[in-house]
Amino acid sequence: MDWQSFTHPLSRKRYGAWTWCHRCECVHRTADWFENHWFCPHPDCDGTARDSSPWRNKQEPPFDNHPEYPATPVEGQQYDWRRAA
């Protein structure tokens, strides 16, 4: 299966431009994740592809309680999904 196809679980097309890490709760460009072999590019974070989540529709978990989060995140900024809005 080609990694660029939409059906591949680690597809950049599927993830979009930004990827969020559940471990460090920071957002980085999906291209940075890809270039880092799907490990979180944030310093001192050991997050893997399993800890990643696309930054997309804020009506979906884990961000459905955070309407204040921007559509285009700030790279490297921490976005806590547990804190209720």
The confidence band for 66, taking pLDDT boundaries of 50, 70 and 90, is confident
pLDDT at 67: 75
Dihedral sign of CA atoms 58, 62, 79, 83 in order: positive
| Interval 12-23 mean pLDDT | 80
Write the DSSP assignment of 14-38 as a string of letters: HH-SEEEETTT-BEEEHHHHHHTTT
pLDDT at 3: 46
For the segment 26-51, what is each residue's pLDDT rounded down to a tens digit? Answer: 999 988 988 888 899 999 999 998 89
Q: What is the pTM of this model?
A: 0.74
Q: Which residues pair with 40 in a beta bridge?
A: none
Among candidates 24, 25, 5, 23, which has minimal Cα distance to 15?
Answer: 5
